[in-house]
Amino acid sequence: MNCVNQMAPEATAAPEVSGVRLPMGLLGFEQIKEYLLIANPDEDPFRWLRVKEDSRLAFVVIEPFLVVPEYQPDIPQADVEFLGLTGPQDALLYNIVTLRGVSQPTINLKGPIVFNRHTLVGKQVILANAGEYSVQHPLQVMEAGTVTASPACIQPAA
């Protein structure tokens, strides 16, 4: 939406873009292995996981601990080894958000994408404790009226 830029002229800071690799792809998208992780400052804390070879395809992701502080992902040992994680400090988690027209977004807590923050290689992991979590955990949004089609057009720039 162009109006995002018109209404929020202060949010013109360049997006941060990192190339990331998912050697196993995402479940259902196993053939796509190269992505760009894009952080637009005005969309924080959301990030875009965009297919590198196709700029029309992307997932919205978010660090789960920002929205579900009690989240306790138990990452299977095989995945820890696959990613070369030597401890929790090596891991960077992003969980996929399903927008559902932005008024009722949900976050997938069963299958986080775990990255090794040093190598930027990641994998969508099925948690050992996946049974404790939902693939459609509701994400709390500000209020119905502010999350319709183009929030930046409705809300004055802060």
Partner 1 sequence: MLILSRKSGESIVIDGRIIVKIVRVEGEVVKVGIEAPANLPVHRQEVYEEIQRSNQQALTQPKAPLPRLPRVKLPPAPGKAPTGLRTLSGQNSSLRT
Of residues 7-46, those binding partner 1 (CB under 8 A): 24, 26-29, 38, 43, 45-46
Dihedral sign, CA of 63, 1, 135, 38? negative
Size of the chain, expressed as the number of residues it contains: 158
Paired tokens of 65: 């601990």
Question: Whose Cβ is closer to partner 1: residue 9's or residue 101's?
Answer: 101
SS3 122: strand
Size of the site for partner 1 (CB under 8 A): 72
x/- track of binding to partner 1 for residues 65-104 (CB under 8 A): xxx-x-xxxxxxxx-xxx--x-xxx-x-x--xxxx--xx-
Q: Which residues contact 53 (CB under 8 A, 6 or more apart)?
A: 32, 34
Q: Residue 21 corresponds to which amino acid?
A: R
Based on the shown chain and the rule CB under 8 A, indicate whether residue 120 belongs to the binding site for partner 1.
no
Among 57, 84, 132, 157, binds partner 1 (CB under 8 A): 57
CB 85 within 8 A of CB 54: no
Six-digit token string for 104: 């009722």
CB 109 to partner 1: min, Å: 10
Least gap, CB of 52 to partner 1 (angstroms): 12
- Least separation in angstroms between CB 78 and partner 1: 4
Q: Nearest approach, Cβ of 104 to partner 1 (angstroms)? A: 9
Q: Does residue number 139 form part of the binding site for partner 1 (CB under 8 A)?
A: yes
Dist CA 29 CA 23 (whole Å): 11
